[in-house]
Amino acid sequence: MRLRYVYIASIVMVAILTPAIAISKPVTIPTLNGSWELRTACMNDHGKPGACIEMKRGSLEFNFDRLGKWSSAADDTNKTKKGGTYQVQNDRLILKNADGSLYQNWRPDFSADGQSFQVIDRQLIETFVRVTQAEPTLE
């Protein structure tokens, strides 16, 4: 009888927690619109974060407008800036440089509230957080 209660409690917990875990926003231009900064960069340890670096605020910021343009600015010694165009294709975010060459081909996983997203590749797991939702002015 006790085992039955444990089993039922387990099913109830899974039913309650699954929607919170499984819900994430799809990649759309309105979801992406605004400014995002890189908050953490972690080594990819078989799909899980390994050693992480907490980025200083303002270290690297990406801006996306509604017309399909993106820009980035790094707070490094060279004040590196990049930019170009982007496309949303299914669950992919494709960033191209100004010359049309591929810069990134991301599959961002947005949080349910749309205030952060993660990008996982073979080497890194990067987390970006929203800085502003207002449309940035891109040149």
Q: What is the pLDDT of residue 27?
A: 87
C-alpha to C-alpha distance for 118 and 14, rounded to whole angstroms: 24
pLDDT at 47: 87
Q: Which long-range contacts (CB under 8 A, 24 or more apart) does 54-62 make?
A: 61/35, 61/36, 61/37, 61/131, 62/35, 62/36, 62/37, 62/38, 62/128
Residue with tokens 């207002």: 134
**β-pair type (102-106, 92-97):** antiparallel
Q: Tokens for 60, please give them.
A: 């690297």
Out of 2.70.98.40, 1.10.10.10, 2.40.128.280, 3.40.50.720, select the CATH number for domain 25-132.
2.40.128.280
- Enter the pTM of the model: 0.76
**Going residue by residue through the chain (139 aa), what tens digit of pLDDT does each one get?**
554 443 443 443 433 333 434 456 788 888 899 999 999 999 999 989 999 999 999 999 999 999 999 999 999 889 999 999 999 999 999 999 999 999 999 999 999 999 999 999 999 999 999 998 765 555 5
